[in-house]
Structures are given as structure tokens and as C-alpha cells.
A = this chain, B = another copy of it.
Amino acid sequence: MIVSALLTSVGINLGLCVLFFALYSVLRKQPCNLKVYAPRLVAEGRAGKRSHFNIEGLLPSAGWVRRAWQPSEDELLNSCGLDGVVFNRIFIFSLRVFSVAAIIGIFVLLPVNYLGDHLRDIDFSDLPNKSLDLFTISNVKDSSNWLWVHFSAAYFITGVVCYLLYAEYKYISNKRIAHFSSSKPQPHHFTVLVRDIPSHGRSSLSDTVEAFFMDYHPSEYLASTVVCRTSKLRGLITDTENLYRRITHLKSRPSSSQNQSHTGFLGLFRKNGDLMGHYEKKLEDLKQNVRLQQSDTSTGREEVPAAFVCFRSRYGAAKALHIRQSTNPTEWVTEHAPEPHDVYWPFFSTSFTQRWISKLVVLVASVLLIVLFLLVVAFVQGLTYLEQLEALLPFLKNILKITVVSQIVTGYLPSLLLHLVASLVPPIMKLFSAMQGYIAISEIEKSACNKMLLFTIWFLFFANVLTGSVTSQFQIFLDPKTIPERLAVAVPTQASFFIAYVVTSWTSLSWELNRTITFISDLISRHCSKTNDDEFQIPSIPYYSEIPRVLLFGLLGFTYFLLAPLILPFILVFFCIGYIIYRNQLLNVYQPKYDTGGRFWPIVHNSTIFSLILMQIIAVGIFGLKKLPLASSLILPLPAVTLLFNDYCRKRFLPIFHDFSAETLIKKDREDRNDPAMEEFLDKLVAAYRDPALMPIRHLTNSNDRTSPLLSSEV
């Protein structure tokens, strides 16, 4: 890619960004769009009502940027939970790191690269037609002493990143402890999930659980709820809900005055009445059936050998959690209980064989996904090399000769395609994780986040870098000695592709801001199907797709820091835009569905360490290729030190993200001892972990997001 192609791409994307931002600020002001752009505020009744039409509302403004910028971290914590804060800290951390990196990159490394030309003539003429390679390390002469600048930069940036990582890990773990200390008593602090309860045949599972915990934890045990298999009932309730929704939808039609003529037309109203009667009878039948099933399961319950066991204190629950309960380690297995609304109930309904089979299905599906995406990546790869594409599709030859077209095709189209295809993956990954048998939605999303991270790093980075067949890609890992060298050869060649990718990502951020898909579907539904206005869902932020996406840019920044520092300012711009946009979305659009207490941070930390190590490995290879073996060997202590640092962080901070210490728990329990509200809380605790499918039928429509929580999230 030449400089002018890059500039074209930057121009297009900047233009699109500004356009989208302006569009957003206009659309945001229209009251009819409030449900798309501020569903949270609407739900919380904080959305200011304005008159129907206003000329000011059609003028773009930057007020939303100010409103997104202003709130302090404590306000963010109150509004979005610790997970929201952690997500925000990813941007702050990245901004800090890449500010330092960009300063070094642009003012130190870039001049060295550019002046390191073999010809040694400083020539700024005809800059637009020069290749971007001039700005990369490949422009520096072999065994040039200037490479020691790169060497020092590698050491310096590793030091800076490790310091910032440590500070951030410490900051977030302190936040986590403070958040816990200041939190009100919550059911999951007092509860433990017990799995693999042995059945004795004679007594019911509830009695067994009661007897066991009364025996060994007499002073601490409070109550227990045995989980029941409710898949049938769940199906019935979903049917009832759908029918109920259809009826309310039908009912709303004739009552809305503006549609009266339309519905009366052609006798549709008459037909509606018939349909209504039919539906209402069916609904009554279904409701009856649900009630029957609920009472049925209450008497002759099909119990699952799992129970939520509640204790009188947090420390009591911790004891049951951390000390192996039964002599047989495969019985009475205890786990952290998730928050009550975070429990993924369908999992308990599946039998052991079903879970076994679904795990196999996940395995096969993953393999298919890998093959599918490698094909896509191979195609996208081809686009950056126009000659290959021309050879493949000769009829395009004439079109591709037009400069603008070729620039768009090489600079914009490949990364747009990748963005699009990659956006299909997160829901699939989430489905895979759900099939693996996690008992909490947060656990499913955390697992999906890890899967997505692997996928992102492998398919968006390695598959693009290591061109060639799948087997040849994997073979690099079978021959570890050559990894640095092969990466050092392959990574720089893709610099221009990734610079273009970073630039296009700006636009994809504005898509997120505009919630384009939601907006269009809302537009269609409002003007065509006229659904009930009160029915709308507040989405929750899909951390499992957003975090890996953001982390990829960190990976790109680190790996190209030494090779092609030109990428750094573009990445910095990405993080700036992202910071504002995601703050805006967190405050206005998304509502937290669960609170993991910042457990996503260790994923971010590990990913950053991985990126650092990758950078160092590539540095080893680069200095080897550039015939500076001394630098190549002197870089080797760097990954070792980084790994030691990571090991220290694992010991120092990771346990805090798993569970709280006796010190913290006992202190908190002591505080509560004098709280008169505790009695009431403990009374309520007993009922907290009831399967929503067993709730009385009048809650049906309200328990919507409880019965099928997985489906309620935005995809």
C-alpha cells in the first residue's frame, strides 16, 4: 500500500465518523428514538421529555460527548457496576500505554526507520506515492547500529507496560474489595451451590441436604433449595408467553385510533375478534396446564442432585465452599453460587448424557467454524494483492485499473469484510459456551470471552500474518525454534493491511454508537408492525464480544510497535473514540445483567502479557534477520522477566478475583451483626434461589428476562 491509499482510507473513515457522529447527535434528540439511544434512561424514567418537534433538534451538536465525558468513576460504578468500570479501565490503560508508545514510535522509531534507507538521502518529494514500507523497520540497513534504538525501545516499552499493568491490577483489585465491602448483603454471598448430592433412595434429596448440613454446619446452616428439572414447564411457559404477547398485540390494534380505518377495512376487525376468542381459549388452556405442571412438580418433583444452600454468614458459606465436604471427593461438590438472576436454569434440566453429547457437538462445531473462517480469511487476504485477484477473476481487470476503485478494494474492502464476518462469531461462541454446562450466564459470557479472544487472535492476527494452508500454519508451532524468525518475516509484510484495518475500525465504532441494526429494526417495526410501545428490552453490553475486539488493537499496537510505528497514532485515535463512545453507551444504552465484580480484568491482563511476549519474540526474530545477533540474544531475558512478572501478578492479585479472604468476610459479617435489616434479609434469602419456572403464573410477563435470559441479550 502506498501513502496515498492510506490517506484515502483515513479520509473516507474520518468522513464517515464525522457523518455518523452528526447523525447520532441529531437522531438522539428525536423523542421517538429515545428507546433506541437511551433505553436505560427511559426505563429509569430519567429521559427528559421534550416537545414533539424542535428546530434545534435537527442541528448536530457535541453535547453528548460532554455528557459521556463528565461522570466520575464512582458514578460509572453506581450506574454500570464494577464490570462497566473495568471495561472503561481497558480504554484508560490502553490510552496510557499507547500515548507513551506513540510518542516513542513517531518521534524516535519512525525517523530512524525512514532515515535508515539504504540510499541515505532524505527525500520528502513524491511522498504520496511512496510505499508505507519506508516507515517500517525493513527500511533499516542490516546490522546497522540504529537497530539498538529499537532494542532500547523494546526494553523501555516492556518496563512501562509492566508498571502500568501492575498499577491497574492493583487499582482494580482494590476497587473490587472496596466494592464488596460497601455492598449491601446479597444472596450469592451467603449461598453455595452443592452438586452431586448422593441419593439414598429412602429420603428425598431435600431431606438429605438438610440432614447433611445440619449435621456438619449446625450453627451456620440456614436453608436449602433443591433444583428441579423444569424443561417441560419452561417450554409451556414460553408458549403461554408468546400467546399472551400475540393477544395483547391484537388487542392493541383496534384501540389505537389512527389505525381504526385501516383495520376495519376489508373486514379485518371481524376476523380479529374470532382469532382473539380462539387465542384466549388456548391461553386459558395453557395457563391451566402450567398451573397443573407447577403443582405436579411440587408434589412429585423430579429433583436434580444439586441444591443452593444458604448460610447465616458469608464466612459460613466460605467454609462450606473451600473445605471439601465429603470423604468421597466426587460427592457434595461445592461451588460459588451465582447471583439469583444470573443462574442459567436450563443447564440444570439437561441430563448427564445430554451434556456429554452437547460437548461433543461443540467440539465438532468448533472445527467446522475454524475451517469456514480460514476460507474467508484466505479470500480477504487475496484482496490486498490485486494481482492475485486479477488472475482469479480476469473480467475485473478493467475496473480495478481505476485508481479509486483499486484503492478502495485494497485499502477498505478487505478489512470491512473481516469486520462483518467477525461480527457473526460472538453469538456462535456464546452458544458454544452455553452448551458446555456453565451454571451462570456470567460464566458463559466469560468463557465465550476467552473463546472470542482465542478466535480473534488466531483468525484476525495469525491467519492474516501466516498466509498459507491451515496445516502450514500449525506446523510453525511444531518447530518452536523457527517461530521468531518466521514471525519476523511474516508480520511486517502485513503492516499495511493492519493499518487499514485499524482505520476502518473507527467507522465500526460509530456503527456501535448509532446502534445501526437496532435503529433500522426499530424503524421498521414502528412503521410496519405497530407493536405495543411499552414493550421493549434494555440490552446488556456483550462484554464477550467487545473486550476481545478492543484487546485485538492492543495486540496490533504491541506487535507493530517496533516494526511499523506508523500504526500507533491510528490505534490511539481508536482508543480515544472508543473511550467516549463506550462511556456514552454504558451510561445511556446498556444495563448490567450481572455483576462479576471485575472478573474480566484477568483476561485483559493475560492478553496484554501475551501481546508483550509476542512483541518480544518477534523482536528476537527481527534482530536475527537484521544480522544483529547480539541484540537478538540480549532480548531473550525480556520474555523471561515478563513471565516472572506475570507469575508474581498471578500470585499477588488473581486470588482476589476468585474469592474473598477470611479477613474481608469476617469484617463484613461483623458489621452486619448489628444491622436490624439482616433478619429480614435472611428470611428473604430462603426464597431467592427459586426456579422462576416455578413462580406463580401471574408473574409470567414480568419474568420474561428470567426464564430465557440467554435470549434476552442483544446479539
Contacts and interface: CB of A to CB of B under 8 A. Distances in A.
Interface stretch (A89-97, A151-159, A324-332, A700-708): A324-332
Interface in A364-407: none
B329 A318 contact: no
A273 interface: no
Contacts of A661: 323-327, 329
Nearest to A654: B329
Interface string A306-326: 000000000100111011111
Interface string A637-655: 0000000000000011111
A655 B324 contact: yes
A170 B177 CA distance: 42
Interface in A294-348: 315, 318-320, 322-330
A292 to B, nearest CB: 40
A656 B326 contact: no
A663 B216 contact: yes
Contacts of A666: 216
A471 to B, nearest CB: 11
A48 interface: no
A478 interface: yes
A479 to B, nearest CB: 6
A512 interface: no
Contacts of A326: 661, 663
A662 interface: yes
Contacts of A652: 328-330
Interface string A165-206: 000000000000100000000000000000000000000000
A662 B323 contact: yes
Interface in A657-698: 659-666
A319 B329 contact: no
A662 B324 contact: yes
A478 B480 CA distance: 8
Given A323-B318, A324-B662, A662-B216, A656 B478 contact: no
Contacts of A327: 177, 656, 661, 663-664
Majority DSSP secondary structure for residues of A touching B: helix
B329 A655 contact: yes
A330 B651 contact: yes
A39 to B, nearest CB: 38
Contact of A651 (B329, B480, B481, B654): B329
- Most chain B CB neighbours (cut-off 10 Å) among A319, A327, A479, A665: A327
Nearest to A659: B324
Contacts of A319: 319, 323, 662
A497 B236 CA distance: 71
Interface size on A, as a range, is 20 to 34
Contact of A478 (B479, B654, B664): B479
Nearest to A479: B478
Interface string A273-297: 0000000000000000000000000
A326 B654 CA distance: 13
Given A319-B319, A330-B651, A662 B480 contact: no
A641 to B, nearest CB: 14
A465 to B, nearest CB: 22
A606 to B, nearest CB: 17
Nearest to A656: B329
A652 B327 CA distance: 10
Nearest to A324: B661
- Most chain B CB neighbours (cut-off 10 Å) among A329, A656, A666: A329
Contacts of A329: 651-656, 661
Contacts of A480: 478
Contacts of A177: 327
Interface in A452-497: 478-481
Contacts of A653: 329
Contacts of A320: 662
Contacts of A479: 478-479
Contacts of A216: 662-663, 666
A324 to B, nearest CB: 5
A463 B651 CA distance: 37
A664 B327 CA distance: 7
A603 B663 CA distance: 36
Contacts of A656: 327, 329
A433 B386 CA distance: 61
A322 B327 CA distance: 16
A316 to B, nearest CB: 11
A293 to B, nearest CB: 36
A426 to B, nearest CB: 30
Contacts of A324: 655, 659-662
A659 B323 CA distance: 9
A324 B322 CA distance: 9
A329 B652 CA distance: 6
Nearest to A212: B663
A124 to B, nearest CB: 48
Contacts of A665: 323
Contacts of A664: 327
- Most chain B CB neighbours (cut-off 10 Å) among A319, A322, A324: A324
A669 to B, nearest CB: 11
Contact of A325 (B481, B659, B663): B663
A660 B479 CA distance: 44
A642 to B, nearest CB: 18
- Most chain B CB neighbours (cut-off 10 Å) among A325, A655, A662, A666: A662
A481 B663 CA distance: 51
Given A330-B651, A478-B478, A651-B330, A323 B322 contact: yes
A286 to B, nearest CB: 43
Nearest to A320: B662
A478 B661 CA distance: 43
Contacts of A659: 324
Given A319-B319, A322-B323, A324-B662, 10 more contacts: A216-B666, A323-B323, A324-B661, A325-B661, A325-B662, A325-B663, A326-B661, A329-B656, A478-B480, A479-B479
* 3 pairs of A and B residues whose beta carbons are closest in the complex: A329-B655, A322-B322, A324-B661
14 contacts: A177-B327, A318-B323, A319-B319, A322-B322, A323-B323, A324-B655, A324-B662, A325-B661, A327-B661, A328-B652, A329-B653, A329-B654, A330-B651, A479-B479
Interface of A: 177, 216, 315, 318-320, 322-330, 478-481, 651-656, 659-666
